[in-house]
Chains A and B, each alone.
Chain A
């Protein structure tokens, strides 16, 4: 009897050290993947040159690599790699959060209309012939505005189940925004604007600059902070509103805070890269299979896996074919079969 707590404490210690080494391993894998993504492409960069460029630009070491190589690494690949890591992590964390909040493993970050709102904002910007920065700003504001509208409807309706009301309001608002996008597509110039709109709605990292990443990063960190800090409480939120409240959680404060965080993160990501579907739905599933549903581990795992997943998909997108395949197509092509396999093989563990 007296030995049991000691055994339990020992097991907990083993588990913790296991977790630490798993996290280190995941970090190292992510770093190696990033190096690979910087080196591989239409213009291969040897690892020695890559090290030299990075050492030169980041630490002020003497550079000896020709300027074009430096341009490829610093101007073309580095922004893409950083953006892939950041956006993949952001969408996955938002997806994991929404799945818990709405107690539904089939929920993606689009559930409250953030993608539809950002889409309408961006499409409007393209239709009006605006430059890139205002288009991104419109997308960002559109995403936030859509979720604010959905949340406002949810508050105004005040039915018994606040979560279900939000989902239904999201479906309705999303339909209206989708109609707006379709309308603008019909009205847009079919030779210049329509292709731009189509590509934006499929998502791409090809024109991302480090400046873009720098502009959205503060908003992403601001949005991620509550998700990371409140991640144990997310376990309680995933039990449903009433049960969480009975256990002492102020869901009326926590739910809007978490929704605001996840929305900010998603809107920032989508405004930079366009709509990249599936990742926010599928990565939390993979993470749940690996580390279980406890958000103390699920959220960090989603962040790391999401970063790695989007980096890999983008690597495939820019190396696989002669033309670059839009990311939204690839994430669905890679994601959907994998998801079906998970459903078939993962049994009850998926949710």
Chain B
């Protein structure tokens, strides 16, 4: 098993946001994390990445306790894709993407030819090779999100954690990012992503984890787990989940007055 989360409690400082969370991730598997705003999705991700200490329980990466691994060891296996942000300095997309190689380089080393090639490959995988020379702060939000995914991929991780990768993207870019997640899984990379759209879970996740009130509300295969009852429980609204002819995954829409 690539990653095991066992009876994990997580939070900031004195505040415990969630506890008793257990699940695991296998190679090439896509997991989708659902939960309401402020439900602790980002905090859980940060704890899984080792950026915040586990408050109880443990996380195992390839069987080893995450707390005992160095940042470099963790980053080689797991890469994070944060929400597209504005950088402070006008790096080019190529400079930004090659930073994903940091975990593969010694502290005094600068990226060499092989690292630049890995960055170019990652850009090509995402179909944004033409943006390599563009300035990261001047491209669109969707392009930035793709560049951040490319940065994560350039380090050749086995597990990608993506915090709301489709937030703030237009309809087309959302579909492109979801398609990309499926392609990564086919290449053997495990992906855990969070979203506010349960439809995305049905579209591209193998399994779904749902957080509610700091607890794991559900964990199971997407089609069986994303039910009106679960969505009612975590979001507090009535939802229709219905199959549509011609579409593989059922669609999911809220009922509004």
Contact = CB atoms under 8 A, between A and B. Distances in A.
B-side interface mostly: mixed
B135 A238 contact: no
A12 B116 contact: yes
Given A238-B88, A293-B91, A294-B91, A247 B100 contact: yes
Interface string B69-103: 01110111001101000011111100100011011
A235 B91 CA distance: 9
A233 B72 CA distance: 13
Contact of B89 (A105, A230, A242, A254): A105
A248 B155 contact: yes
Nearest to A244: B102
B89 A351 contact: yes
B46 interface: yes
Contacts of B171: none
A293 B110 CA distance: 15
Contacts of A103: 88-89
A5 B102 contact: no
Contact of B80 (A229, A246, A254): A246
A296 interface: yes
Contact of B82 (A238, A243, A248, A348): A243
Report which residue of A12, A230, A231, A247 has the largest number of chain B beta carbons within 10 angstroms of its beta carbon: A247
Interface of A: 5, 8, 12, 100, 103-105, 160, 229-233, 235-236, 238-239, 242-243, 245-250, 254, 288, 292-294, 296, 348-349, 351
Closest 10 CB pairs of A and B: A248-B75, A248-B103, A293-B89, A232-B110, A246-B80, A103-B88, A248-B72, A229-B108, A247-B102, A248-B102
Interface of B: 12-13, 46, 49, 51, 70-72, 74-76, 79-80, 82, 87-92, 95, 99-100, 102-103, 105, 107-111, 116-117, 120, 135, 137-138, 151, 155
Given A235-B91, A249-B102, A348-B135, 12 more contacts: A105-B88, A230-B107, A230-B108, A232-B109, A233-B102, A239-B99, A245-B71, A246-B49, A247-B79, A250-B71, A250-B72, A294-B95
